[in-house]
């Protein structure tokens, strides 16, 4: 990931306590020019574990971020605030990303150039993948260059848990 711009760093400093205050983690801040105004994109996520940020938590985070920006005023001129969660295409690069992906289909690109894929069943220092035939493969996490979550259009409610 590219280093944050000075404007993004100012926004991060202003909103990080507000995001933490609602129990979330500040994943990314991007500030871009859009004509006469700026667009401030703030990406929040759960600190750890499986699941996702629900709409109520995202709304609460948006309000807290907006208030923090109003108070600190880190962006010159007018801006549009966009608060979201990481998309399904976010690369799995940190230990917590892998822990959040447990039970999901993943594809791993290893540092030796090979790939592995399967359902992630454990995400400690060694990742455990289960194939469609039930066979398990282990991959030390430090041998993973990058991972991505596979999009599943049809998972049963039992696999997803309570919605």
pLDDT digits over 11-24, tens only? Answer: 999 999 999 999 99
Output the pLDDT for position 100: 85
pLDDT at 163 over 60: no
The domain defined by 6-84 carries CATH number 3.30.300.70 = yes
CATH 2.30.30.100 boundaries in the chain: 95-160
CATH class, range 95-160: mainly beta
CATH 3.30.300.70 boundaries in the chain: 6-84
When computed from its CA atoms, the radius of gyration of the chain, rounded to whole angstroms, is 18
Report pTM: 0.75
Task: Taking residues 118-127, report their average pLDDT.
Answer: 95
Phi and psi at residue 89, to the nearest 5°: -90, 5
Output the pLDDT for position 1: 61
Beginning with the edge strand found earlier in the chain, give each strand of the sheet holding 25-34 in spatial order. Answer: 25-34, 37-45, 79-84
């Amino acid at each position: 990931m590219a280093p944050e711009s000075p404007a993004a760093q100012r926004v991060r400093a202003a909103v990080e306590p507000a995001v933490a205050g609602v129990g979330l983690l500040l994943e990314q801040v991007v500030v871009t020019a859009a004509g006469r105004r700026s667009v401030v994109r703030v990406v929040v996520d759960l600190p750890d574990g499986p699941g996702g940020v629900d709409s109520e938590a995202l709304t609460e985070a948006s309000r807290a971020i907006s208030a923090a920006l109003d108070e600190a005023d880190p962006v010159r001129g007018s801006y549009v605030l966009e608060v979201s969660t990481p998309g399904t295409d976010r690369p799995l690069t940190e230990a917590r990303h892998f822990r959040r992906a447990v039970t999901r289909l993943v594809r791993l690109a290893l540092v030796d150039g090979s790939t592995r894929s399967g359902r992630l069943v454990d995400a400690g220092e060694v990742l455990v993948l289960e194939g469609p035939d039930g066979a398990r493969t282990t991959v030390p996490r430090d041998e993973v260059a990058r991972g991505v979550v596979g999009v599943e259009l049809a998972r049963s409610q039992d696999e997803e848990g309570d919605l």
